[in-house]
Amino acid sequence: MLTEELKENTEDIHQASEKKMIFALKKIDTKEAYINLLSWLHGFYAPVEALIRRQLTEDNFPGITKRSRAEYLLWDIGESGVPAPQPDTCEQLPVIDSFSLEARGEIIAAAEDTFLTFKNWIGKHELQPQVEI
């Protein structure tokens, strides 16, 4: 099954990304810091999800629209009562330019590239000082 193959082949970079994310989560100590986290997560997920939606549709991947998360991050930011930080959108995106269940190698490579891009995106933001709003 493709999902098991993806998990197996991306395990190391997935774990490295999770460790960076956990480190960033542990540093959250205010509502503003939490909203900053949501904002930079949106800055990553929105463009990546747009790339994915160019390849995956309800026709070739039923349920794909239910997997999008970027709009929920914006909703959470809006509902927080905290002014939204200046948007910062990830511009060095992973390559997601084809989809075919037969092209397992391409799917795995795209998944690995996505995790690596996310790990680097987290690293970029954890080095920036939190700005109090």
pLDDT band at 7 (very low <50, low <70, confident <90, very high): confident
> Would you list the domain boundaries of the chain?
2-126
Q: What per-residue confidence (pLDDT) applies to 82?
A: 94
> Cα separation of 94 and 89, whole Å?
13
- Whether 10 contacts 108, CB under 8 Å: yes
pTM: 0.76
pLDDT tens, position by position, 81-105: 999 898 889 888 887 776 665 666 6
pLDDT at 71 over 50: yes
pLDDT tens, position by position, 12-44: 888 888 888 888 888 899 999 999 999 989 999
What's the alpha-carbon Rg for the chain, to the nearest Å?
16
Q: Which residue has the higher pLDDT, 53 or 102?
A: 53
Phi-psi category of 60—alpha, beta or left, where left has phi over 0 and alpha has psi -120 to 50? Answer: alpha
Q: What per-residue confidence (pLDDT) applies to 129?
A: 47
- Whether 13 contacts 116, CB under 8 Å: yes
> Cα separation of 128 and 119, whole Å?
15
Closest CA to 89 of 63, 108, 104, 70: 70
Count the residues in the chain.
Answer: 133
